[in-house]
């Protein structure tokens, strides 16, 4: 599917989702998720970090960021460009956090894309807090330490009394559960 064809499907789905259409939102997430998965896997592979789990982790962070930043979408720009810009920032954050990138990470293959600044969003913070509240305490703690505070997975695993592998699985499942909780709560922007 060409980028123009994708945009022709994504834009109406996303705009309908902003109006509260949960089915359109699911379609948007499925389509953009598939597109971003390939984008992230490709960039991680070129950086020598090809891992399906790693790409899925960054994808889940990106989809969560898309949900939390949906109020920042500017209808004057293509929704695919907005989503790719957020994915690019999440990829950069991941590479910096992991400390494993080699030299300069080349991720600017597409033209620069203007993105409306997200800024502090009280409603987005409340959405996150509500989604976190629906998770078991240990999973909440892992997400808080790793994704919100920027700590390492190893430290979070140790604090939770888990192996690093078990913590990674719990973290991934927790992020997926949060995305489902946020989707079920509705898609109306704050």
DSSP string, 17-86: HHTT-HHHHHHHHHHHHHHHHHHHHHHHHHTT---HHHHHHHHHHHHHHHHHTGGG--TTS-HHHHHHHH
Q: What is the per-residue pLDDT across 148-182, written as a single tens digit (0 to 9) for each?
A: 777 788 888 898 899 999 999 998 888 888 877 76
SS3 134: coil
Task: Tell me yes or no: is domain 122-184 CATH 2.140.10.10.
Answer: no
Contact yes or no for 149/181 (Cβ under 8 A): no
Domain ranges across the chain: 3-98, 122-184
- Looking at residue 117, what is its pLDDT? 37
Q: What percent of the chain has pLDDT over 90?
A: 7
Distance (Å, rounded) from C-alpha 137 to C-alpha 113? 38
- Looking at residue 165, what is its pLDDT? 92
Does the pLDDT at position 137 exceed 60? yes
Q: What is the per-residue pLDDT across 17-62, written as a single tens digit (0 to 9) for each?
A: 888 888 999 899 888 988 888 888 888 777 766 566 788 888 998 9
Of the CA atoms within 13 Å of residue 72, those in its CB half-sphere come to 19
Q: For residue 123, what are its two tokens?
A: 């409603």
What is 3-98's CATH number?
Answer: 1.10.1740.10
User: The pTM is what?
Assistant: 0.55
Q: Residues in the chain, how many?
A: 190
Buried b (16+ CB within 10 A) or exposed e, 81-97: bbbbbbbbbbbeebbee
Q: For residue 23, what are its two tokens?
A: 């089915």
Q: What is the per-residue pLDDT across 67-118, written as a single tens digit (0 to 9) for each?
A: 888 887 888 888 888 888 888 888 888 877 776 554 444 444 443 333 333 3
């Amino acid at each position: 599917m060409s980028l123009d064809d994708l945009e022709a499907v994504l834009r109406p789905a996303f705009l309908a989702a902003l109006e509260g259409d949960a089915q359109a939102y699911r379609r948007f997430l499925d389509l953009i998720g598939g597109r971003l998965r390939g984008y992230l896997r490709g960039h991680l592979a070129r950086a020598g970090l090809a891992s399906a789990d790693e790409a899925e982790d960054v994808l889940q962070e990106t989809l969560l960021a898309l949900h939390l930043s949906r109020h920042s979408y500017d209808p004057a720009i293509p929704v695919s460009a907005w989503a790719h810009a957020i994915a690019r920032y999440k990829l950069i954050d991941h590479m910096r956090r992991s400390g494993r990138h080699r030299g300069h990470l080349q991720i600017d293959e597409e033209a620069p894309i203007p993105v409306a600044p997200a800024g502090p969003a009280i409603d987005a913070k409340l959405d996150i807090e509500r989604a976190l509240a629906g998770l078991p305490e240990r999973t909440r703690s892992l997400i808080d330490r790793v994704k919100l505070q920027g700590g390492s997975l190893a430290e979070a695993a140790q604090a939770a009394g888990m192996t690093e592998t078990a913590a990674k699985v719990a973290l991934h499942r927790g992020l997926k559960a949060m995305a489902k909780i946020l989707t079920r709560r509705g898609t109306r922007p704050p």
